[in-house]
Amino acid sequence: MRLSRYFLPVLKETPAEAQIVSHRLMLRAGMIKQASAGIYSWLPLGFRTLKKIETIVHEEQQRAGHIPLLMPTLQSAELWQESGRYDAYGPEMLRIRDRHDRDMLFGPTNEEMITDIFRSYVRSYKDLPMTLYHIQWKFRDEVRPRFGVMRGREFLMKDGYNFDLTKEDALHAYNRHLVSYLRTYERMGLQAIPMRADSGPIGGDDTHEFLVLAETGESEVFYDSEITDLKFGDREIDYDSHEQCRGVLEEFTSRYARTDETHDEAIFNEIPEERRRVARGIEVGQIFYFGTKYSEPMGAVVQGPDGKQIPVHMGSHGIGVSRLLGAIIEANHDDKGIIWPEGVTPFHVGLVNLKTGDEEADAACEKLYDALDAAGLEVLYDDRDERAGAKFAGMDLIGLPWRITVGPRGLKNGVVELTSRRTGESEELPPEAAVAKVA
């Protein structure tokens, strides 16, 4: 992508309305524009990054055997009256009436709709286990939308729903989701700690939230510092193995880690004092097992092996896809701007031409651009006729992991400069070597 032909409306001033760094940086880097309170347009750079995050979520869901589909954003009130949540959900639900006076709503979550899909088609236990998911916009009329995409009213969520014959199978689905979430967040360069939580309006007994530690997080969390030493890493997991998935759950929940809703001071105080941590965290996901809470009232039953009709055991599992952008930036930035982890960066390399218009510099940049492209790397080429300082500041702000700087002086010696955004370290090397190093 050539910057001269892109749409990257970078702001020079710090927007006064943004209280936290990720919100400020997303506005300054031209990633989002507020449309109204808690509702955002995703400008090209933001949209591109959002797609990267979405792709990782899709890949990890499907690796775990979950099946993608897409449900609408607008739902009929009838389904929610069936489950009893239409009244219970309260003012967070945006209620709409269509021209025929039918009650509709903008979905805050999809338990009812997916249960309706399931009960319409699935009749036999032989079709289980089944986990369906989608990545779709949600609307919750939050009392205080704030912090940009972190607490929006319209936000993108991955929500998945498992259908199982027995509680044991449904708990395996729960554990499998926990494993796949650990992988998902680590691929984004994030440490998200599963913490015992409260189920809220979704209902159910078993639930964990995934929290990214950050001072600006809205949740108060209590944990044993040993939990932060646990890494999922690149271990191979058989997602069908109950034992392996349970093993991971046991490992990652073996230390005290709870949100304020479930915090128990007495148990916490049993941890050696030097390991007790009270901090803040950003909730980036949550998994629930709720048994037959929806399948029973809504009649989602299958015929079991003995011919009896059995309500299926269910759970639901959410990832805050759009919130993740904010969380990743909260965890990866410095005073110059964003520092994208490799897995989610909108472009891999920023190519800076120090002397646009200079025949040799232009030719060298074109050649590098093609070589990087051929190596499968996404390049943002700053080919504008601008001061070097402004180009560098822009690249630092948008936070691509690598910058390659090309100027007449270096070219005389056959070298370009390669700079790591994270470490700030630069080295001079021949263009081919720079490409090889980044690839």
Nearer to ligand ATP, 185 or 381 (CB): 185
The residue within the footprint of ligand ATP, chosen from 140, 172, 183, 403 (CB under 6 A), is 140
Binding mask 199-238 for ligand ATP (x = CB under 6 A): -x--------------------------------------
For binding to Mg ion (CB under 5 A), which residues are involved?
283, 286
Residue 411: CB partners within 8 Å, gap ≥ 6? 360, 361, 364
CB of 147 to Mg ion, least distance (A): 13
Q: Work out how close the CB of 24 gets to ligand ATP at its nearest, in angstroms, rounded to a whole number.
A: 17
CB burial of residue 393 (10 Å; 0-12, 13-18, 19+) = middle
Q: Is 28 in the site for ligand ATP (CB under 6 A)?
A: no
CA distance 134 to 110: 10
Among 3, 18, 26, 157, binds ligand ATP (CB under 6 A): 157
Based on CB atoms, which residue is closest to Mg ion, 208 or 403?
208
- Residue 340 interacts with ligand ATP (CB under 6 A)? no
Nearer Cβ to Mg ion, position 83 or 286?
Answer: 286
Residues 279-318 that bind ligand ATP (CB under 6 A): 283-286, 318
Binding mask of the shown chain, residues 344 to 383, with x at each position contacting ligand ATP by CB under 6 A: ----------------------------------------
Question: What does 187 interact with, of ligand ATP, Mg ion, none (CB < 5 to 8 A by kind)?
Answer: none
Nearer to ligand ATP, 61 or 353 (CB): 61
Tell me how far, at minimum, the Cβ of 353 lies from ligand ATP, in Å: 38
To the nearest whole angstrom, how small is the minimum distance from the Cβ of residue 214 to ligand ATP?
13
Span from 161-169, 243-251, 319-327, 381-389 in contact with ligand ATP (CB under 6 A): 319-327
Taking the least distance from each CB to ligand ATP, the nearer of 165 and 221 is: 221
> Does 320 engage in binding with ligand ATP (CB under 6 A)?
yes
Cis amide bond preceding 44, omega within 30:
no
151 binds ligand ATP (CB under 6 A): yes
Measured from the CB atom, is 186 or 383 closer to ligand ATP? Answer: 186
Tell me which residues touch ligand ATP (CB under 6 A).
109, 140, 142, 151-152, 155, 157, 200, 283-286, 318, 320, 322-323
